[in-house]
């Protein structure tokens, strides 16, 4: 009867809730092991200018799981954020990125692109963030002026005044800031001009179908125009084709990131990519292929 099936629906709902909760616990426990046993890897995705030169690289974490193979951050970052282990994970990412930055400077000297590190909302709110960043960079003697932090609109919003002072303190030490996934959060344009941010990254959800979806095209054009008026540089994420690159280029987007140029790379492949891209302009290289 209806009552019984209602009860079943409720208990299977609770069952599903319970399963999701124990799955989260399991991943949290395994992430602690991952940190201890060195199962995390940092990949780097190039960001390029109109000529194909690498102007920065974004550090993206992967989990080399002993049974499941390479696990995407989309699967574990939200859980790590919820459980709090994101703080340790975030420190590992920062430490690894700083070490790799120093190695990169060994290869490219003054021409070394900056490394961008994603900062989770929880990390960003941490009172000791400024000291943590400074101490970790100092461990490997990484120059803070080549470190860029990516923060989302969401992590700025809950306490704008505090966010501004944290960012200003880090900015004073040389750290650069980008707003990540721009357009997906609730951005107040009023505070955007108050933040010590020089770059916004247009979320890939607007970029992927920009050629076929009029709404996406409208949003992208509005963001580009706003950024230009505020004097902010723009990076489009999720550029998968030359047509999308051209669309964005003619509308004044400054920089690009996406599979069309490169997937996230291991450190060794990144070095090779930078060497290649600095040797010859990408536009010409593509034309010859
Ligand atoms: P995000 O910071 O917006 O990073 C960009 C994501 O877009 C990356 O996914 C990248 O691999 C993907 N991507 C790049 N180009 C293309 C493209 O042309 N097409 C498509 N479809 N996707 C593209 P990934 O590496 O899976 O990371 C997902 C998200 O996980 C990141 O989004 C970021 O929010 C988070 N994340 C990754 N690494 C870290 C980390 O070290 N710390 C924190 N807190 N979050 C991280
Ligand atoms: Mg990012
Ligand atoms: Mg993004
Ligand atoms: Mg994203």
Range of lowest pLDDT (63-72, 152-161, 279-288): 279-288
Q: What spacing in Å lies between the alpha carbon of 200 and ligand 1's midpoint?
A: 15
The tens digit of pLDDT for each residue in 95-151 reads 999 999 999 999 999 999 999 999 999 999 998 999 999 999 999 999 999 999 999
Mutation pick for ligand 1 pocket among 79, 204, 239 (CB with most ligand atoms within 8 Å): 204
ipTM: 0.97
Q: How far is the CA of 201 from the centre of ligand 4 (A)?
A: 10
- In this predicted structure, the answer to whether residue 39 has a pLDDT above a threshold of 60 is yes
Burial (CB < 10 A; 0-12, 13-18, 19+), residue 68, is: exposed
pLDDT digits (tens, 9 = 90+) for 79-95: 999 999 999 999 999 99
By the CB criterion, residues less than 5 angstroms from ion ligand 2 are 118, 150, 180
Query: Does the CB atom of residue 75 touch ligand 1 within 6 A?
Result: no
Taking CA atoms only, the protein residue closest to ligand 1 atom 2 is 118
User: Ligand 1 pocket, 180 CB below 6 A?
Assistant: yes
What spacing in Å lies between the alpha carbon of 199 and ligand 1's midpoint? Answer: 17
Cα(289) to ligand 1 centroid in Å equals 28
Residue 181 CA to ligand 4 centre (angstroms): 5
Residue with the bigger pLDDT between 235 and 3: it is 235
Give percent of the chain above pLDDT 90: 77
Question: What CA–CA distance (Å, rounded) separates 46 from 57?
Answer: 4
- Ligand 1 within 6 A of CB of 71: no
């Amino acid at each position: 009867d209806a009552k019984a099936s209602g009860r079943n629906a409720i208990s299977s709902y609770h069952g599903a809730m319970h399963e999701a909760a124990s799955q989260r616990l399991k991943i949290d426990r395994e992430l602690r092991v991952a940190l201890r046993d060195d199962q995390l890897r940092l990949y780097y995705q190039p960001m390029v200018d109109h000529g194909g030169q690498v102007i920065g690289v974004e550090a993206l974490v992967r989990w080399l799981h002993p049974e499941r193979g390479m696990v995407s951050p989309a699967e574990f970052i939200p859980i790590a954020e919820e459980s709090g282990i994101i703080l340790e994970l975030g420190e590992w990412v920062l430490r690894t990125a700083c070490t790799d930055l120093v190695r990169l400077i060994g290869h490219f000297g003054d021409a070394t692109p900056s490394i961008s590190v994603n900062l989770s909302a929880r990390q960003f709110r941490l009172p000791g963030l400024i000291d943590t960043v400074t101490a970790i960079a100092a461990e490997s003697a990484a120059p803070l002026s080549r470190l860029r932090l990516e923060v989302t609109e969401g992590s700025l919003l809950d306490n704008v005044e505090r966010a501004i002072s944290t960012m200003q303190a880090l900015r004073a030490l040389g750290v650069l800031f980008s707003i990540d996934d721009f357009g997906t959060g609730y951005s107040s344009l009023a505070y955007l001009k108050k933040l010590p941010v020089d770059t916004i990254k247009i979320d890939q959800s607007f970029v992927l179908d920009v050629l076929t979806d009029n709404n996406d095209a409208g949003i992208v054009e509005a963001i580009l125009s706003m950024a230009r008026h505020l004097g902010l540089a723009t990076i489009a994420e999720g550029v998968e084709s030359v047509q999308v690159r051209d669309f964005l280029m003619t509308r004044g987007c400054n920089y690009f990131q996406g599979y069309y140029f490169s997937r996230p790379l291991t450190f060794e492949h990144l070095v090779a990519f930078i060497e290649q891209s600095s040797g010859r302009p990408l536009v010409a290289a593509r034309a010859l292929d």
